[in-house]
Homo-oligomer: A and B are copies of this chain.
């Protein structure tokens, strides 16, 4: 896109939306997301900041007519470069769509615009004795629209499911610039094809999600984590399987392998025994009595072969544990200055195979590797740690990631359990999908976005 032409186009849009909604200076803040390596920085040609759904409609119509690429952006906490304008284009910042449109605690529901922080949804629910279970990291930064657009997961997805399971309605703007609405406050709807669930997780490539109806549930009275350490991957994964067989439904089953633990152990809120080479974090929740009974069952399931069991019970300790867990990704990044983090998922009985496979792949590419993530969902954040100043290491990490994804597919898994394809995994979707499935994927994109203006290059 020619800068002079775009300048004229932007002036037209500014005349419609107001000059403060069209930003052409200080664009560096929109050049990256949480994918921390150098290959994924790209300054947009402009940033649009619509304040209403009608303004989003005007933006999409404007872009569709002119063939201008739009890159929707939520909180910028994504890990696959989905919000980075790698092929140029104009970023659409949803931050100003920040209204809680309605909150009916007595009916367990909330209607929010896309730019509302995930933490705000969680806090409002809690203040009314309710619970919004999805808990991807960076809740204070990520916006609910971005969470819906990526169908974000998190530790508690094991019991409660991913973000999409808590969405009963959606509003979006699709090319050529029209508002579509599906579902709403109603909890069941099988009338039309489930286009809502096609938009959920579509990473801004089919349209821009502008609002969502969320379902809530009564908050569990108590959430009691239990941490268990094991000597190695094999005994740790065996413990995870014991846990799943125990007859209890834990709220979460997290893990760290020895390398992830080594990177993050320094800030663990409790002394760790020397022999700890695998950590399992699980949690029992429910009423106080239920959580205590379940916690005892979890302990029984985890005790075999453990080298440590720790059950924080004080709210302060519990918060410290989850804050530490949330920081694992940063701790790993700090090891060598950079990392390429993946999010493959495999059937849970293949967890050990996936961990061992990731280490073999790291060795083959000469890169240190670590794994952590959501063991109960078979979802691994396998990570290749790099010195990001070394172009060569980054290239090797990309090659290793590609091998890792192929391994996941070979284990009957997926190349993405949480982060989405974004830009980082481009080209690998066709490895996972069959020919007809891939053709349908492309045809759906074509159907919604015939001019290819919506987040081009992503999710493909």
Residues of chain A having any CB pair with chain B under 8 Å: 104, 106-109, 129, 150-151, 153, 157, 161-162, 164-165, 174, 178-195, 197-198, 200-202, 206, 217-218, 241, 244-245, 247-249, 286-287, 289-290, 293, 345-349, 374, 376-379, 412-421, 425, 429, 432-434, 436-437, 440-441, 443-445, 447-448, 459
Contacts and interface: CB of A to CB of B under 8 A. Distances in A.
Given A412-B185, A437-B180, A447-B444, A129 B247 contact: yes
Contacts of A247: 129, 218
Nearest to A129: B247
Contact of A440 (B180, B186, B200): B180
Contacts of A201: 190, 193-194
A419 B190 CA distance: 7
Contacts of A440: 174, 180, 195, 447-448
B417 A186 contact: yes
Nearest to A420: B190
A347 B193 contact: no
A436 B61 CA distance: 14
A220 B445 CA distance: 42
A414 B191 contact: yes
A144 to B, nearest CB: 16
Contacts of A178: 436
A247 B161 CA distance: 21
A84 B190 CA distance: 19
Nearest to A297: B287
A186 B437 contact: no
Given A184-B347, A186-B347, A412-B186, A191 B287 contact: no
Given A190-B201, A378-B186, A417-B190, A161 B157 contact: no
Contacts of A188: 153, 157, 162, 345, 374, 377-379, 414, 417-418
Contacts of A415: 191
B189 A106 contact: no
B289 A191 contact: no
A14 to B, nearest CB: 27
Contact of A187 (B151, B193, B348): B348
